[in-house]
Amino acid sequence: MGIPDRLETVFGPMEFFDGLPLPDTVTRGYDALDLLRGIDIFLDCQPGATLVAMRRGLLSLGIDSRTIGYTAPRCTSAPRLLTGNTETTYGMTFLALDRDGPIVIEVPEGSLSVVNDMWQRYVADMGIAGPDEGKGGKYLFLPPDHDGEVPDGYFVSRASTFSCYVLFRVLGGVESLLTTRMYPLSAAADPPEQRFVNFADTDFAMIPANDFSFFGELDEIVQQEPPGTLDPERAGRLASIGMVPGEPFRPDDRMRSILDTAARIGSGLVRTLIYKPRDPAFYYYPGSSWKNMFPSRNHEFLSPQGARLLDARAMFHYAALVITPAMAAAAVGAGSQYAYTAEDSTGAWLDGGRSYTLTLPENIPAKNFWAIDVYDTQTRSLLRTEDPYPSVHSLSDAVRAEDNGDTIIRFGPTAPQGREANWVRTIPGKGWFTILRLYGPLESWFDQSWRPGEIEPA
């Protein structure tokens, strides 16, 4: 049985002669196919574009492969950084293993540090979730084409791309972070002085584009990394729009227009996935708005049956940064766990012009500390207000619990008198979302005998 001579589609009518596409249908068909491929690429290749944007942002401040950018005393809302937090001292850089060769990284005690390749695939944990177990240690990162000897005395990892993103988090704060060292293996006998750049208060962007330039960000990786570093399916989609290693990416005006539209549609689709996922697996509790970006508790976004959860991968990488098993399936007392929401208890979007309360019952299950951070729904970065630290966290001596042990967090444009330490300012006319972070999550989080309240309109 064949197809009818005329099909009504969302792309317009498609007409055939006995199954053979007429000229207008051929044109319309390829426009539709290129648009669909472009949308798929936007959703599936977010991890790489994000890191290219991060690397460009850091390089604009002089933070190269021999430099560690950091936040002192803590990260503020000034940098446009995907869901950063205000509680930990960050350090970050990008390795250049093709130029610098094997790299040694020395992390201090109490580190929660991670290395990802340029497609944001897991390479190694360093610190509490890594093989040094938080005692500090020396790590050696080898280029993908390394065939030389590997010396003893290091925790060794081989990266699949030359450029790798390194995120340093240190519980000991700035003083501890500044003892971190990073140098080529060839200089191990006499390491150079470590260079640091503080970007905590610097207004600069590290967020990927939502228009045609998104595809230019991807092409940087395609051209700079060895062929074969991306899985064949995604590499095939990139090739279908003319993005091939060793060849210039020069789409004509027609393709540029289609890809620009694809990025804009993709941005709208992934925002729907983030803020209103339809799969019940994303929700921590029945009837609750608190969501989990790792619904299968797998850092590769694999289901128990081995299927890739494409929506989960797209939404995580559009909203957040860096992958490690310690985030997806943390052990009790180690790693970190997260829950987020952009909704109040009625299901309405959180409105910066209204006031709300959130009750965290007593015995909040965090061995190290807990935090509530507030974010801009457009940039997915810390919300910019008069306070550069839009958060409430247990590291602050000013935060107070109620007489019954519960901690009540307040949100709104006006400070509640006498409760300012437990309050986060919001902005009328803007939406917002929040993330609950638990560092060193305890058993009551995993067995759900403890759960956060819903955000209640005041």
**Range with top average pLDDT, 108-112, 371-375, 414-418:** 371-375
Is residue 117 pLDDT above 70, yes or no?
A: yes
- Decide if pLDDT at 375 tops 70: yes
Position with higher pLDDT, 258 vs 170 = 258
Give CA 249 to chain center in angstroms: 27
Name the packing angle between helices 23-44 and 213-224 (round to 10°).
70
At 302, list the tokens. 């694999």
Q: Specify whether domain 6-54+208-272 bears CATH 1.10.3360.10.
A: yes
How confident is the model over 117-125, as a mean pLDDT?
A: 97
At residue 326 the predicted structure's pLDDT band, cuts being 50, 70 and 90, is confident
Tokens 């979007």 correspond to what residue?
A: 349
Whether residue 375 contacts residue 441, with contact meaning beta carbons closer than 8 Å, is answered with no
Q: Decide if pLDDT at 334 tops 90.
A: no
CATH number for 276-457: choose from 3.40.50.1950, 2.60.120.600, 3.30.43.10, 3.40.50.1820: 2.60.120.600
The conformational region for residue 10 under phi > 0 = left, psi -120 to 50 = alpha, else beta, is alpha
> At 257, is the secondary structure helix, strand, or coil?
helix
Residue 271 scores a pLDDT above 80: yes
Mean pLDDT of 184-203: 97
Per-residue pLDDT at 1 exceeds 70: no
What pLDDT score does 89 carry? 87
Has residue 455 got a pLDDT over 80? yes
Model confidence at 12: pLDDT above 80: yes
Residue 231 has pLDDT above 70, yes or no: yes
- Find the mean pLDDT for residues 324-349: 91
The length of the chain, given as a count of residues: 458
Distance between CA 129 and CA 131 in Å, rounded?
7
Looking at the chain, the whole-number percentage of residues with pLDDT higher than 70 is 100
DSSP string, 360-402: E-SS-SEEEEEEEEEEETTT-SB--SSSS--EEETT-TT----
DSSP string spanning 175-226?
HHHTT-EEEEGGGTTSPPPPEEEE-TT---B----SSTHHHHHHHHHHHHSP
Exposure of 31 by Cβ count < 10 A (0-12 exposed, 13-18 middle, 19+ buried)? middle
Please name the residue that has the structure tokens 């929660």. 112
Q: Which CATH class is domain 64-198?
A: mainly beta
Has residue 335 got a pLDDT over 80?
no
Determine the Cα–Cα distance for residues 15 and 32; give it in Å rounded to an integer: 14
The count of other CB atoms within 10 Å of the CB of residue 223 is 14
Q: Is the CA virtual torsion 220, 162, 205, 313 positive or negative?
A: positive
- The confidence score (pLDDT) of residue 420 equals 94
**Mean pLDDT, residues 69-85 taken together:** 95
CA distance 336 to 177: 19
Contact 111, 117 (CB under 8 A): no
Query: Using alpha carbons only, what angle is made at residue 385 by residues 177 and 166, rounded to the nearest 5 degrees?
Result: 25
Residue 137 has pLDDT above 70, yes or no: yes
Residue 424, classed as helix, strand or coil, is: strand
pLDDT in tens, 32-62: 999 999 999 999 999 999 999 999 999 999 9
Contacts of 155-158 with CB under 8 Å at 24 or more apart are 155/124, 155/126, 155/130, 155/131, 157/115, 157/123, 157/124
Q: Count Cβ atoms below 10 Å from residue 457 Cβ, excluding itself.
A: 14
- DSSP β-bridge partners for residue 164: 95, 117
Domain boundaries, the chain: 6-54+208-272, 64-198, 276-457
How confident is the prediction for the chain on average, in pLDDT? 96
Mean pLDDT of 175-203: 97
The residue with tokens 């804009």 is 264
* Spatial contact of 340 and 293, defined as CB atoms under 8 Å apart: yes
Q: What are φ and ψ of residue 103, in 5° steps?
A: -120, 135
Residue in 316, 217, 210 with CA at minimum distance from that of residue 268: 210
Q: Which helix (H) or strand (E) holds 16?
A: strand 12-17
Q: What mean pLDDT comes out for the span 346-355?
A: 98
Q: Are residues 432 and 426 in contact, defined by beta-carbon separation less than 8 angstroms? A: yes
Which helix or strand (DSSP H or E) is residue 261 part of?
Answer: helix 253-275
Question: Which tens digit of pLDDT belongs to each residue from 380-402?
Answer: 999 999 999 999 999 999 999 99
Please give the order of strands across the beta sheet that includes 432-441. 336-341, 432-441, 366-376, 391-393
